[in-house]
Each structure stands twice: as structure tokens, then as C-alpha cells.
Amino acid sequence: MPSRWTERRQKFRSYLAGDRCYHPGSVHDPISARIASEIGFEIGMFAGSTGSLGVLSAPDLIILTLTEFADQALRINRAMELPLMVDADHGYGNALSVMRTVEELEIAGVSGMSIEDTALPQPFGTTEKPQILSVEEGIGKMKAALAARRDPDLCIAGRTSAPIITGIEDTIKRAQAYEKVGVDAIFLVGVRTRAELDAIAPAVKIPLILGTATPELSDLTYLASRGVRVCLQGHQPIQAAIQAIYDTLKALRDGTAPKDLKGLASADLVKRVTRADDYDRWTKDYLATKP
């Protein structure tokens, strides 16, 4: 019997195999996931940064644990039917830790995950700029991730920040090395211009995922022509949520009456994103006294 995650993983693979480029919806909890699904996003994206904010109220410094991240991914997956792509950072350690990361996130129902070759958490004495692993260690992590995968429908993307750390030539070298190992996609962080993407794209045969969408790279048709199948737009939803909560609490603290608050979700919206109708039906079916 196929797992409950099979259909969405196969759908995510179909997006990677197609000829379109998609903006995923940035989600960080079950409510945001339900909203992204209702609005019509094809893919959900759960990042390490939003995980750290949503779970710990902490900056993106790799202090969130794998267990905390996987638990939140599972909560998100239970709330929606969209394929979920996650940023698994560096795999929470060395290549052996990467294997555990793949195992836990696969069980949590993700459809795709990226494993990156940045040296994380930030090593002692390197506070000024990110460091990157040797390509040999990066290859080891990609091999470990693929070896740990049990569901062949789960997508593994090799992620690199080489475009902003070591340059385009090294980016191509790493992308080709990870492609040769057998990853399903290359996730690039720091590509800013069409010239950079035009240099990288012809050298890579597997789908590309972009972690940044600069104004110059905002044309989905152009991105699709370069083999980009997913392009992140950032993680504005959680930033908006933080601001809305702050503004509401401050207004209440400053004396605004609850009836005068602005920007609150309507009762109808809350009802929809909490599936209140389903719960009402289940209550009648399973709790009501029947003759």
C-alpha cells in the first residue's frame, strides 16, 4: 500500500520534470499551510529560517534541532495536501547526520528537501562571511542523503551558496559533481543576475531551484527556459504575521477596545482554515446521541 505521502511526492516530481517554473508558498505552521493551499499555491516551502522563527523565536543560526524541525514539518503536512519542499540546511551535522535527517524528514512526509554544502553552524573564528565545505565533503553528504532515502519518490536537492561565496566557476563544478552523484535537482542560493544564471544553466542537466528572486530574475517564463522549476520569493508571510501580532497586542495594551481592532481574520476565514465544517460533521456523526 502506498504511503499517504506518495501522491504529493509524485506531484512534486512532475513539477520538476515539467516545463514551468513555480513560486512556492512560504509556510511555517499548519494555519499558513492551510491558507497557501486554499489560495492555490502548487507547492509549500518550509525553510530553516522560518522554522527557527516559528518554533524558537530565534534567528536563523542553526540552533533549531532536527527533531523540532521534523515535528513542525509533520504538523504542516497534516494540515495540507500540497507537496512540501523543506530546507534541511546542512543535514544537522556531518554525512552520518544527513542520513538521520533524511530518515526523519521522509517520515514527516516532505516531498523534497535540500542538503547544503555550507559549513554550519558557523565555525569558531569565521564571523565575517559564510564558509563552504570542500566539494569532496559536499559529495559525501549528497551520497549519504541518497543512500538514506527509502521512498524513491522523495526528491533530494543538492544545495550550494557557492554563487555568493566562491563564484560561478566553483558553482558549476559543485553542481556538476552533485548531479553526477544522482541528486534530483540543484538548489542555488545567491544567483542575482541573468548573466549568472545563463552561465550556470547550460552546464546542469537536472532541474534548478533558486533560493532568491531578484527583480532581474522575476520572469517565470525566462526562468523556466533556463531549467528553473522552483523559485523562492522569500519568507514574507511569517514577517507579516509577526507584525500583525505585534500591532494587535500593542493596540490592546495601549487601550484599544477589542471591537475597534483592525485587520483581524473574519469568522468565515477562520472557519475555513480550521475546517470547522468537517469538525461539526464529525461531532454529529460520532458524538451525537442517536435513536
What is the Rg, in whole angstroms, of the alpha carbon atoms belonging to the chain?
21
Torsion angle of alpha carbons 65, 123, 197, 192, nearest 10°? 90
Residue 286 lies in a domain: no
The pLDDT tens digits for 28-68 are: 999 999 999 999 999 999 999 999 999 999 999 999 999 99
pLDDT (0 to 100) of residue 1:
47
Residue 75 lies in a domain: yes
| Integer angstrom CA distances of residue 221 from 89, 215, 232 | 28, 14, 15
User: What is the distance between the alpha carbons of residues 55 and 136, in angstroms, rounded to a whole number?
Assistant: 33
CATH number at residue 72: 3.20.20.60
pLDDT (0 to 100) of residue 283:
95
Residue 44 lies in a domain: yes
Residue 175 lies in a domain: yes
Average pLDDT along the chain, 291 residues, taken 10 residues at a time: 85 98 98 97 97 96 96 97 97 98 98 96 83 97 98 98 96 98 98 97 98 92 98 96 97 98 96 96 90 59
Residue 110 lies in a domain: yes
Residue 268 lies in a domain: no
Residue 61: count of CB within 10 angstroms of its CB: 13
Residue 260 lies in a domain: no
| Domain residue limits at 40 | 6-240
**Could you tell me the three cell numbers for 44?**
509549500
Among 23, 18, 9, 27, which residue's Cα sits nearest to residue 209? Answer: 23
Question: Could you identify the residue written with the cell 527557527?
Answer: 52
The per-type count for the chain, helices as H runs and strands as E runs, is 13, 8
pLDDT (0 to 100) of residue 128:
76
Residue 58 lies in a domain: yes
pLDDT (0 to 100) of residue 289:
80
The total number of structural domains in the chain stands at 1
Cis peptide leading into residue 121 (ω within 30°)? yes
Strand partners of residue 46: 86
